[in-house]
Amino acid sequence: MIKIIETKEKTGYKILWYRQTESTNNLARAAISRNEPDGTVFVADSQTKGRGQRSNTWESEPSKNLTFSIIMYPDFLKVDEQFLLSKAISVATVDLLNEYGLTAKIKWPNDIYAGDKKITGILIENDIIGNCVASSIVGVGLNVNQRVFLSNAPNPTSIALELGKEFDRKILLERLLFLFERRYKALAAHDCEKLEKDYFSYLYRNDGFYLYACGETKFNAKIAGISNIGELLLETESGERRKFGFKEIAFVIGK
């Protein structure tokens, strides 16, 4: 079953809402192959094979959360600028949660945390042609009304758990798409200064020294910045600066 949702917010998105599907990212991938228009959004009440980062599955109780994917054609982005799209959806998600009274942060590269607990996962798949991003799938899993998590994920939470009440998922989605579109339009206009500033200000643990793990080695460091291609720049207590790609470094939480 599929239904088309009209948004109250003035956005250019077309929302297709499914009761169940294997993966909204798979729906988006098929839509790109059919040249579906930019800004088509696939939402599912239930995903049987939802994906997270590092090939993990994404736990989501049916009809409790927001799991959706957006197709985009950001050919104005060069290959070495593709992380800007991750920044745009991450910052927009924090914008949304902050509006609802949650103090949210971006755990590099693009998980969203409330305190030390994960409330949103983001998975972006880019197709590159030449030196440009030809198409992108922006996949988002936002925990909204789920209160019990059964997987071995170490630290999940939801808006309902944090704020003590349930929320209308459609209203949340409409507002998030509106906020993302605003960030995306600035990106398309090559006006990235505010996005870069907001991304860093929203970063989880950007306020001092914390424990990190690189393989078997643990060390204290503070976040010094993010490179143009999305690498994490850390400064150790001795003043040494080190650069890490995704999967090369881990935050040590709860130790």
pLDDT band at 3 (very low <50, low <70, confident <90, very high): low
Are 81 and 54 contacting, i.e. CB atoms less than 8 angstroms apart?
no
Of 8-22, 107-121, 134-148, 167-181, least confident by mean pLDDT is 8-22
What span, in angstroms and rounded, lies between the C-alpha atoms of 209 and 188?
35
Question: Is pLDDT larger for residue 4 or for residue 16?
Answer: 16
pLDDT digits (tens, 9 = 90+) for 145-186: 999 998 777 799 999 999 999 999 999 999 999 999 999 999
Average pLDDT, the chain: 92
Are 122 and 113 contacting, i.e. CB atoms less than 8 angstroms apart?
no
Look at residue 213 and tell me whether its pLDDT is greater than 90.
Answer: yes
Domains and CATH numbers, the chain: 2-201 (3.30.930.10), 210-251 (2.30.30)
What span, in angstroms and rounded, lies between the C-alpha atoms of 102 and 141?
17
Provide the Cα torsion 97, 101, 103, 109; round to 10°: 0
Are 240 and 224 contacting, i.e. CB atoms less than 8 angstroms apart?
no
Per-residue pLDDT at 145: 98
Per-residue pLDDT at 31: 97
Which residue pairs from 211-215 have beta carbons closer than 8 angstroms and sit at least 24 positions apart in sequence? Answer: 211/251, 211/252, 211/255, 212/249, 212/250, 212/251, 212/252, 213/249, 213/250, 213/251, 213/252, 214/244, 214/248, 214/249, 214/250
